[in-house]
Amino acid sequence: SQQGEEDPQALSIQEGENATMNCSYKTSINNLQWYRQNSGRGLVHLILIRSNEREKHSGRLRVTLDTSKKSSSLLITASRAADTASYFCATYKAAGNKLTFGGGTRVLVKP
């Protein structure tokens, strides 16, 4: 079973709008990571947030982590057509030394 579950499964927005996607997980984690996958390509790491952090920024990306609710959100501000991709959250637990991915959110940014 998947540790992380993204919501929504798909998202369609206009260029310039913000895109928000959420990730929920079931058990305690050491860190949570977000990745982007363009169609037919490998995944690219976007941002990592540790379990003792609540918010992190990287350029137009903002990630939050609420360990009490076992959830994270990824916000992309001022979206561009080039942001069209699938976005995956992945949770890391030291016990087992594995990264577990969710099913992803497909984002379409219309010009």
Return the number of the residue (60 or 93) whose C-beta is nearest other proteins: 93
Strand partners for 66: 71
| Residue matched to tokens 């992803």 | 104
Site string for other proteins, 48-87 (x = CB under 8 A): x---------------------------------------
Query: Which one of residues 65, 104, 107, 109 is an interface residue with other proteins (CB under 8 A)?
Result: 104
- What minimum distance in Å lies between the beta carbon of 44 and other proteins? 7
Measure the CA–CA gap between 1 and 44, rounded to whole angstroms.
Answer: 23
Mark 4-23 with x for binding to other proteins (rule: CB under 8 A) and - for no binding: x-------------------
DSSP-assigned letter for residue 17: S
Q: Work out whether 94 is an interface residue with other proteins (CB under 8 A).
A: yes
For every residue of 94-111, DSSP letters joined together read: TTTTEEEE---EEEEEE-
Measured distance CA(71)–CA(69) in Å, rounded: 5
**CB–CB of 53/101 below 8 Å?**
no
Q: Please give the residue ranges that form the binding site for other proteins (CB under 8 A).
A: 2, 4, 30-31, 33, 35, 40-45, 48, 88, 90, 92, 94, 97-104
